Structure 1
Amino acid sequence: MDLSHRTHLRSFGLHWNSLACKCVFLVVIVLVFRAVCLHSFSGFGSSEDNFFAVKSRPLTSNSVSLTGKSKFLEVPQIIWGLNNQKIALARACLTARMLNRTLLMPSLSASLFYKEVDLLKPVSFDKIFQFEKFNSLCKGFVQLSRYSQLVNRTDLLELRKGSGRRWTADDDLHQLRRFSQHPFDEYEIIRIVGKNPFLWHDHWPVKDYAKVFECLVLGEDISREADKVVSKIREIGLKVNKDVGSPRTNGLDSMLQPVPYAAVHMRIEKDWMIHCKKLEQRLNISEICSSKDQIIQRVGNIEGLKTPIIIYLAVADDLLEDDSIMAGWKAGLLPFEKKKLGVLDLYKKHPYLIQSAIDYEVCLRSDVFVGNSFSTFSSLVVLDRTQKMINMGVKRPCGMIVRWPSYAYNLEGESKSPRPWATNMSKSSLQAISYGSNHISCS
């Protein structure tokens, strides 16, 4: 250091050889090194696709790092249909697990954004699902934390996930692995900003998603609404069976076993028909769209279906243009939609998300389920039913001999019946379930 510089330092009361000055010099080196490291780690894709900034936010104390800090992941509001939201939620949970963090309880959406933009209001996770039950069932796997539990303020890292064709699944996975390591693991909160979690790249096997879905237990109020619908279906079924003198309504067995019913997720609404026709053109296949008549015919050809039986038609009434869905069913198959069942008012008092949750539960509890393999709703119902049978020790959950058989009416099986359907739990990703497939594990 030359004389002029030494003189300048002395003018501020500092000496180059002093301990204080050396400490200042070391701090400057550390700060510069840290900035260089952060810049190098952020180099994923273009600068528009990937950036982060350090801010201050309150934290919770549920997840603790080696340094004693709590660590959390925050994600954007989750949107789209109920089952896309469930997939997005599971994907956010699994992302938090990969980063060794606890997921801050995300906001869901009460309505479909493309149908009721003015009603796209955030709804808390615990207004739809049971928070404590989730953490109890998923303990040791993934966990949620409430924002109300945040007590401290510390650095927050904002991360934008990449998007576009140039952003590959490998890039995304590499980024997640980087952010689970030093220096990013020092931050208490990583906030992911950008696109909806449903559209994030998938890095986890179906069984991991199934584990998260098992922890999603509907709130008690919503579950009670589903109870009312199922009870109404079985009550009508009991009356019908008594009127025809069915053996299932006589003797001790009728007191122990509820009257069975089938549920058909009938995708013939105007929005679905537009979507499925475009999908058929893009994928160059003709096994996605199904007409009302085709669905009715194939359900009627299910082998071993004991009649008379109530057929609950799970359909979005507001979007239904064909009001003749009750006609043309085979003798012994008794179709009921919400209005005929007398539960339309029960549904109408709730926003879209809760209506869909009730319908999902009614389909899940059905003795026989028939859906469309390109529908996320149908696919997750079948996944849940498959998981239930696996938990019971069933090795091949297909056909009428199992407890909860499922079928895909858009795929033709034997004797023009719908094809038996079960989820392949050995798949390495949820791709087929997220976007649909004509390759189902029972084929």
Structure 2
Amino acid sequence: MKQSSAAAAESAFPAFDRERQNGMLTAASAESAVLRHDSDNSGGAAEGAFSAFDRQCMKRAFSLARRGEGRTSPNPLVGAVVARDGRILGEGWHRSYGGKHAEREALDAVLAAGLSPAGSDLYCTLEPCCFTGHGKHQPPCTELIVGSGVRRVLIANRDPHPAVNGEGVRALQAAGIAVQSGLFAEKGEELNEAFFAFQRRGRPFVQLKIAQTLDGKIAALNGNARWITDESAREEVHRLRGRSDAVLVGRGTVLADDPELTVRLAKGRNPVRAVLDSRLSLPDSAKLLSLPDKEKTLIVCAADADAERMQRLRDRGVTVLPVAAPPDSSGSPAGLPLAPVLAALSERGIRSVLVEGGRGIFSSFLKEGLWDKLSVFIAPRIMGDGIPAVSGFAAETVQKAIRLGAVSTRRIGDQLLFEGFHVYRDH
């Protein structure tokens, strides 16, 4: 791989005295100055350890990172800023999967402006990568940073990828670069919630989206659900789709609503449209099967589903993904076990899944604990008798009910959006 050594990276920048030029720390002093990140990736340096300018630069890096939403997966979102003496010299972000990393973008921007990054500070939303390997398109950022003459690196979070996970910090330290971490660590967790979830739990980040009335109904008894929420809430859902790798629904939702599951009311690319349909019983007239980007429609079925039907769907350009369903999977939606479904989606590079229904799907994900974030749009309507959002399981006591953490609420149009996260015992 090109520029895979420190020498190659250093050749792109002017020569400098690594120990003293512009007040750079020596390796020994940098080692003692490092503020180490907590093992749970949630902290590091105390907030008081950072200046107002540090905060300004990191906020800018986060803003830049967001520009890559929907285009970098399975890589994380990353933004970077290079600054010196209270002035931003260059900035960049990871624009798309396979493209240049944020650190290189920012350092290249400094050079393009006719400046030198020697003696500067690099603000990065995630720990710089430090490895090469199969499927990795870019050289290690740590080598580039070491060769650039950067004096100090500030990061929000360590990269939980097993090939990094603190090794990037240690590589920079060893080269005499001071490293501080934990600046807006919580924002970093939110920014890359899907990437972190996959690295920690080995499955895609699962977000459940429910639109319901004040009394918890998602549809009338006859199945009518259009529209519980207003257009402002539907626009927000389309933004969620644009940020997700895949949208997942059950066969019943397709039969009831005949949705397209595309991004039309907001900016963003269409996600993969995954439908759980164990017996491949969707009608040929379903909109999902006739969209221009048919390859993004993915039907998850049982491994023993009708082979001829599988082939007919594939001939139409639709992706069919058979999953082995054990005999005891009758309680799962569409007769498919959720863990193997998520594993199969993960193998296709999907790192985030937005689950949009219906009731059986929501209930199964909640019951099996295979979810990370719950987003409930609560509309100012009272249905009375109707189809509840969840069913099929019951907590024995209030204390044993599913409880969410890090909850938040905000108003969207006439709706209240309630969001919270799964509280895992291991995190």
Provide the TM-score with structure 2 as the length reference.
0.30
Q: Which structure is higher in helix share?
A: 1
Larger Rg: 1
Q: Which structure is higher in strand share?
A: 2
Provide the TM-score with structure 1 as the length reference.
0.29
